[in-house]
Amino acid sequence: MPTRARIVNAAARLMRRNGYHAMGLNDVVSSGRAPKGSLYHYFPGGKEQIAGEALRTAGQRVTASITTTLSAGGEVAENLRSFAQLLADDLERSEFRNGCPIATTTLDAASDSDVIQSAAAKCFAEWHDTLAEWLRTRGHSATDAAELAALLVAAFEGALLTARAHRSSAPIHDIAETLARRLSL
């Protein structure tokens, strides 16, 4: 993998776990096995630029995994359970460190950086639109699909947050069951 991509991936990994402020550029360099001095060559905008690109890359990966899970066919409830399982596996394998790759940085840095805020907003909008499109193919009106997609994004984000607080993946499985059972999806 080219140096530039390794840097972006290293930043995404670090920000997913501890957010923007905890990320030192030395950690990015060593975790990305990048030559010292290469950071400002590839990223003249420094840490903020790296963070924006890392969010975009991480967000696209989540979009791809939403699309794969939902296009597997089958019942909506089954799709939600599969997606919950993916999130829970990531959390458990990382000892409850790898939650949403966008949320931590959104909360700790989006208020202070337009670059980060704009990248985070685009990720959430992309996930929302992907889910809304899927719900339309399942027969929901555009209005219903948009409303339900916003609830799905919020509920899974909230479940990932409480899962990290409790160091348990139960909230993620539970939310998928609740959504599948209580909403007319």
| Of the residues 27, 78, 92, 108, which one makes contact with a second copy according to CB under 8 A | 108
Angular region, 43: left φ>0, alpha ψ -120 to 50, beta rest: beta
Burial class for 41, CB neighbours closer than 10 Å (0-12, 13-18, 19+)? exposed
For 7-147, list the strands marked E by DSSP. none
* Nearest distance from C-beta of residue 107 to a second copy, angstroms: 4
Instruction: Enumerate residues 6+ apart whose C-beta is below 8 A from 16.
Output: 58, 97, 98, 99, 100, 101, 104
Residue 150 and residue 121: Cα distance in Å, rounded?
A: 13
110 binds a second copy (CB under 8 A): yes
SS3 state of residue 185? coil
Is 103 a residue that touches a second copy (CB under 8 A)? Answer: yes
Is residue 150 a contact residue for a second copy (CB under 8 A)? yes
Q: Applying CB under 8 A, which of residues 6, 17, 136, 173 lies at the interface with a second copy? A: 17
Say whether residue 129 binds a second copy (CB under 8 A).
no
Tell me: does residue 121 bind a second copy (CB under 8 A): yes
Q: Is 92 in the site for a second copy (CB under 8 A)?
A: no
Binding map of a second copy across residues 24-63, x = CB under 8 A, - = no contact:
----------------------------------------
Sign of CA dihedral 164, 97, 157, 122: positive
Residues that bind a second copy (CB under 8 A): 17-19, 21-22, 95-97, 99, 102-104, 106-112, 117, 120-121, 123-125, 147-148, 150-151, 153-159, 161-162, 164-167, 171, 174-175, 178-179, 182-184
